A and B are shown apart, each in its own frame.
Chain A
């Protein structure tokens, strides 16, 4: 049997076991180990299990992950979300659909200190939904804005998916973070435009809120202070090469912790919860990376990524068409699987095709796949953000049917697709900042 055939059998077995709800990380490690043992040797397979797992656990570069997760957890437990929302509310609240616009803007700002999409959605839902309910916003628009805005937390650096992509493809995490800034601002603007169009066509969806004086608006800018300061220190430090991503993450977490303590908004319980959540999230991410590394070794000996690249190359299709197909696969995969798990699983397969064969920039590809998988967090059937918002909504504003949330998401989905098309036509929006680095 050819190595490629063994590889395809391995992938099929893996997909079947995935359906059994066995953790994705364990399945990748198991199939990778067995496949490598069949292809190379029993001794080689056993060595993979100890060395690769230990290498992932002990990688200094990967200490970035728990530290950025910790920063997000401190922000999550310290009420930063309320102040960010307040600023957006005072500036945009009086326009039609303004509260939904304030919510997505606050989501982007919160994403600057939190790299998790569901955490951003949950945090902003707790402050955004009651306000929108108070001003008689349609449930569809309110929940759709929070769930979709939460996805922005994944693109806006620091982003856990981008860190994992950087580690798997050996790209600079700093460059990936810097590259994510403009695309997340672009998507935020597209979301705001989408809300504006929707509320112009159906004004009852988002009636105007309270109007504030210029003085009140300017005073509310103080609420942006700590987030902006932490973001500028972290991203600025990375941009000029003042510190490594791990150091940036440590300084960012310390910064958020100190601000939360000074403002007396982080309780002891919140602090302990942050540590627990950080440990379990970091452990989950590290196990996924370990599984992906072992599976990647198996894929490399099957030569599937290279065969795929030459097979697709043989069709002589324009590279934008091939890229469109890859994006579609990521979109479909994101619908059925957690974004992070899907990225760790597929990057070893598609990276050689897209970067080596088609010649796309690896930083550009990283941002694009994060944006595409971001759609997965709001599309059925998995759409984790939708379930998070559904849960929060039930608790604070009453039951909102899942169908309404999915319906509310549709215009935002179109906005993300428009964003991806713009970024494909104008890759410089992504690459402009990384090229200025150092």
Chain B
């Protein structure tokens, strides 16, 4: 926010901040995957509750176990592909246009955040199974 504002004012005086667009993009890119585990944990993602909330608690836990397995599979794949994508860009040496920041740093960091996110889902899954066993 501050960087973009500074850039707008500096541009008014004909001295835009070099590479500000890239820096803002990189910061925003990192903010989203870093917030993923927290958002998932607080139930911040939109889901359709209308049917599940009518079911018993046990059935709800069984359904949550199934959806956690699906989510775990999906994000394990996404993490793996994100790391592979970072590796590809590391090998090709692709960098940003103005500041020449290597993209693979950002993508590896995104991949790492996704890994943490996948582990959070895994933890949830273990918790679900523990709950089911306890019943």
Contact = CB atoms under 8 A, between A and B. Distances in A.
A18 B42 CA distance: 19
A390 to B, nearest CB: 15
A174 B25 CA distance: 19
B32 A49 contact: no
A19 B46 contact: no
B85 A51 contact: yes
Given A247-B4, A251-B5, A254-B1, A57 B29 contact: yes
Given A17-B70, A23-B45, A47-B81, A282 B35 contact: yes
Interface of A: 17-26, 29-30, 33, 46-47, 49-51, 53-54, 57-60, 62-63, 66-67, 70, 243, 246-247, 250-251, 253-254, 276, 279-284, 286-288, 336-338, 340-341, 381-382
B95 interface: no
Most buried by A among B26, B36, B63, B106: B36
A50 B71 contact: no
B98 interface: no
B67 A20 contact: yes
Query: Top 6 closest A-B pairs, CB basis?
Result: A23-B45, A250-B4, A50-B81, A22-B67, A283-B35, A50-B85
A144 B40 CA distance: 32
A30 B82 CA distance: 16
Contacts of B35: 279-280, 282-283
Most buried by B among A30, A51, A283: A283
B48 A18 contact: yes
Contacts of B77: 33, 46, 49
Interface of B: 1-2, 4-5, 7-8, 21, 24-26, 28-29, 31-36, 38-40, 42, 44-52, 63-64, 66-67, 70-71, 74-75, 77-78, 81-82, 84-85, 106-107, 110
Contacts of A276: 38
Q: DSSP class of B's interface residues: helix, strand, loop or mixed?
A: helix
B36 A283 contact: yes
Given A250-B1, A283-B39, 13 more contacts: A19-B50, A20-B67, A22-B67, A22-B71, A23-B71, A24-B47, A26-B45, A26-B70, A33-B77, A50-B81, A246-B24, A250-B4, A286-B32
B25 to A, nearest CB: 5
A31 to B, nearest CB: 10
Contact of A250 (B8, B51, B107, B110): B8
Contacts of B38: 276, 279-280, 283
B99 to A, nearest CB: 14
Contacts of A60: 21, 24-25, 28
B48 A21 contact: yes
B109 to A, nearest CB: 11
B45 A336 contact: no
A30 B110 contact: no
Given A20-B52, A62-B28, A250-B8, A25 B46 contact: yes
Most buried by B among A54, A60, A251, A337: A54
Nearest to B114: A53
